[in-house]
Amino acid sequence: MAWFFLLFLSIGLIKEGKCIVDEDFPFRNVSLDWSVRVDDLVSRLTPHEIIDQMAYGGGWNDGVTPPIPRLQILPYSWGTECLRGDISENSTGFPQAINLASTWNKQLVKAVANATAYEVHAHYNVYRKEGLYGVHRGLSCFSPVINIMRHPLWGRNQETYGECPYLSGMFAIYFVHGLQGPLSSRYLNTNAGCKHFDAHNGPENIPQSRFSFNVQMSEFDWRSTFLPAFHACVNAGSYGIMCSYNSINGVPSCANNRLLTDILRRGMNFTGYVVSDDDALVFINIEHHYVNTNEEAAIVALEAGVNLELADSPGATMFELLHKAYDDGKIDNQTLIERVKPLMYTRMRLGEFVQ
């Protein structure tokens, strides 16, 4: 199989792809606890370096996270699509999620995700060896899609596991385990990023754009239909969650403190990172009109719990505006520290920052 060949090829490239380290920083000491290493790394970053790590690396316009030469930290790309195979190049193409759902075979879903992870990691090792960085060249997947199919004409039904919250949650668990590897593993094969959180299931453009749609629903429907699959994803150990374009009862998902902090982090005990959907932060202002300025959109997303911005359109990277917001005293250093920690922890678990 193609993935086996690429995995075999990657074994000889891992050592060559490592960053050459001139100084033994504690965050590179694998004998230390993860939390100690993360704290040490983040303590060495300036507030503006932290902002850059959160603002870039998600999409085409974002490029990659900037390297930090004084710490020998390399660039990184967070944007990889893994729903039906590695999207980058020369990879196995698997059936769409709705087809996998029709099998009711959770082990098959896990096997597809596992094969995808091997191919993603093999490509990653080749890219690192050749010094190539960019979209679809990292180890962090924007997958699986676990939104609930509510209308047969929604244009993205094929990406989902269908209309059943239980089935979607079960397949989310096995897909996450397939991508990341066993929970007991020290290092991840790749990391999952379940999306789109939450209640994102159409419309796309008619009668209202997905960028500005406001989902109005009862608490019962929210908790019984839309949240269970994401709870399953969190319980499976997913390192990433993507917040969606839509509003929920008047509050944009990526600016929704109740959704991202009260429900996700406190209620579900999620400890990973939240990444915005593509350009979702600028839409907080220009589509939802939830705030009056782009800077306010960046601040409200940061405070709600967004760790990383995904932006593709020129001029749409809102977290860039956090530099001025910090200088003006509108956000504090401690919030930045808490937001960047899950990003650095994830990269450590993916095998970065070692001697």
Which domains are seen in the chain, by residue range? Answer: 2-349 (3.20.20.300)
User: Sheet harboring 214-215: ordered strands across?
Assistant: 214-215, 247-248, 251-252
Q: Report how far apart the first and last C-alpha atoms of the chain are (Å, whole number).
A: 32
> Is residue 120 scored above 60 in pLDDT?
yes
Q: Report DSSP state, residue 72.
A: T
Q: CB count, 10 Å around CB of 229?
A: 29
pLDDT in tens, 77-86: 998 999 999 8
pLDDT, residue 59, reads 66
The answer for 109, left when phi > 0, alpha when psi is -120 to 50, beta otherwise, is alpha
Q: Which residues contact 131 (CB under 8 A, 6 or more apart)?
A: none
> Is residue 166 scored above 50 in pLDDT?
yes
The four Cα atoms 57, 62, 63, 65 give a dihedral, to 10 degrees, of -30
- 277 flagged as catalytic: yes
pLDDT in tens, 290-299: 999 999 999 9
Least trusted range by pLDDT, from 62-71, 161-170, 218-227: 62-71
> Is residue 4 scored above 60 in pLDDT?
no
Which of 277, 312, 328, 332 does the annotation list as catalytic?
Answer: 277
pLDDT in tens, 49-69: 999 999 998 766 657 999 999
